Chain A
């Protein structure tokens, strides 16, 4: 067959393709050390911390799950959800209600929260199948408000102003055991996400995010695939909600508001869409941000001296730092933290260290107009 030689080809054809890169023995040792350091940081170092800190770390792992959940919608399907606080909150209350009021076990609670999270996301997804983009964002926003004003006001379900208590499961009462439990759930979610994107279902999501029309000419049922993504995202969110509730040992209605939804979107985007590593870092970093700020000496005094109508407390700092990071992210690093950590990530998995490797090009809005 006659074929045009790709003469104007394309610089980034990797010459290494013919000769796959193998690290030397020293290289492997260095990588092993890096892995050991990472394991130490995540698994061993936290054990030396007081219980209140460990509780925060557990919540940080849950926030990482929330980031992965939001990423399924935002990163894979390209739909922004401004009602994710409701997704997570419904999971939290479901589990707390089942355990405290109905006397079920923690495991039943988490399972039910996951299922109900998926269910409510499917309903919302079904309602909004015909719209995309900004209009869809408005639907999710109003869904969040409806949940806040109605579902979370049901006394029986949420325990009213005092909140619903959510005891930790048997054997996981101590903070460090619960922390490990949350890590295990995070690992499960990471595994599911990783595997999903390596199947036809995951590829279908990426294709339909890029262009639903092109996806449908591949034979992909766009509505079904979108619903599938909603289900997965809702399941992750519900599970995270249940874990947060039991981590705090109580859950009250006033935290699941629009501000939290924005906070979730910020941490997901700053973490880096479609980068699992970035999302985990982003989620846990934002969860720990208020706490980290308190550790900076003199920061509170600095905040107090900022003139203005309100006295700034560390709580407000996240409201400033979050959007600031988001701005930097949008202007300079669209791939978020994940894009920045990618060279390290590649190196640790046995590739050559390439500081310029930023992974896939950030995708432009395509110009297909069919």
Chain B
């Protein structure tokens, strides 16, 4: 049974049908990739799953429960964690502060009792800091704990963001282009990290990703969106070679340049 699924969700913004009858499913412990050209509606789909948009039609089911009408923070409490295309962090603070802030739901005291330093709140705050340290160690951020987030390079920020979303204690992780801003080597290491994190935290992961070698290596299943509709889905190698996918990525009539590009892409995958 799938942990998270969308059933025929559609949404329209004015004249643009951003998603039409999109159904995807993420199984327990799976890593699912969502690919497609720019403007295909991938982030829109994620935004509906997280709760920023309400679909016009269709439902979102999380562990057998209809969550289509739940607000974002309630979905977070159920275990949906999410990263953003352009890094969702509290910029004015340190890495440590971000990791502590993200554990909002695990801080099991009332703000008012925390203000007067009740024993429970002190103990709770200590647990939050310990967990922040532990997560930073897992993602290799220990030296950066007291660094301002604003000054960090983009690739590192992406890693901090993953640590932060892990701090929310998620069950399902939705990653929006986790490898953007990373070089090939960094992206490869990100793939290793994701595979390890999935086992370590018992996660199911859905990720929007453009970096083909990464997708093919880590994903168990792929969905390809184009113009708001599901173009095809299946095992990574099937989807990658699907003629419609190639056309969607490289244009209708593959000219010599496109063919050369694709050959290069394939060669890259093979070397991985």
Contacts and interface: CB of A to CB of B under 8 A. Distances in A.
Interface of A: 1-4, 6, 8-14, 17, 192, 195-196, 198-204, 206-207, 210-211, 213-214, 216-222, 228, 360-364, 366-370
A6 B151 CA distance: 12
B31 interface: no
A293 to B, nearest CB: 35
A214 B90 contact: yes
Interface of B: 43, 47, 50-52, 71-73, 76-77, 80-82, 84-93, 97, 100-102, 104-105, 107, 109, 111, 114-117, 121, 125, 138-140, 143-144, 146-148, 150-153, 155-156, 159, 165, 168, 185-186, 189, 192-193, 196
A9 B143 contact: yes
Given A12-B151, A195-B114, A203-B100, A370 B77 contact: no
A275 B184 CA distance: 42
B123 to A, nearest CB: 13
A218 B156 CA distance: 20
A370 B97 contact: no
Given A2-B192, A228-B111, A361 B150 contact: yes
Contact of B105 (A10, A219, A369): A219
A210 B147 contact: no
Nearest to B190: A4
A203 to B, nearest CB: 4
A204 B192 CA distance: 32
B144 A214 contact: no
Contacts, number: 157
Contact of B84 (A8, A192, A210, A214): A214
Contacts of B189: 2-4
B158 to A, nearest CB: 10
A233 to B, nearest CB: 15
A362 B77 CA distance: 31
A217 B155 contact: no
Nearest to A222: B73
Nearest to A5: B140
B113 to A, nearest CB: 9
Given A6-B144, A200-B107, A221-B71, 16 more contacts: A1-B139, A1-B192, A1-B196, A2-B193, A198-B125, A201-B111, A207-B101, A213-B72, A214-B88, A214-B89, A217-B73, A217-B81, A368-B86, A368-B87, A369-B85, A370-B85
B251 to A, nearest CB: 27
Contact of B111 (A14, A200, A361, A367): A200
| Closest 6 A/B residue pairs (Cβ) | A3-B140, A201-B111, A199-B114, A363-B92, A216-B72, A214-B88
Contacts of A228: 111
15 contacts: A3-B139, A6-B143, A6-B144, A192-B115, A196-B111, A198-B114, A200-B109, A204-B101, A207-B104, A211-B88, A217-B80, A217-B165, A222-B73, A366-B86, A370-B43
A368 B176 CA distance: 12
A10 B92 contact: no
A38 B82 CA distance: 48
Given A4-B189, A363-B92, A368-B84, A14 B146 contact: yes
Given A364-B91, A367-B86, A204 B152 contact: no
Contacts of B150: 361, 363-364
Given A1-B196, A204-B104, A221 B88 contact: no
Contacts of B196: 1
Nearest to A228: B111
Contacts of A12: 147-148, 151
Contacts of B50: 217
Contacts of A221: 71, 73
Contacts of A213: 52, 72, 84, 88
Contacts of A206: 90, 92-93, 101
Contacts of B101: 203-204, 206-207, 218
Q: Which of B72, B105, B168 has the most CB of A within 10 A?
A: B72
Contact of A199 (B80, B121, B146): B121
B88 A217 contact: yes
B147 A203 contact: no
B97 A203 contact: yes
A196 B146 CA distance: 21
A199 B124 CA distance: 10
A192 B97 CA distance: 20
A217 to B, nearest CB: 5
**Residue with the highest number of chain A CB atoms closer than 10 Å, among B71, B92, B151, B196:** B92
A366 B87 CA distance: 9
A361 B72 CA distance: 29
B140 A1 contact: yes
B91 to A, nearest CB: 5
Contacts of B73: 216-222
A13 B83 CA distance: 26
A314 B140 CA distance: 60
Q: Which of A9, A196, A199 has the most CB of B within 10 A?
A: A199
A84 B198 CA distance: 50
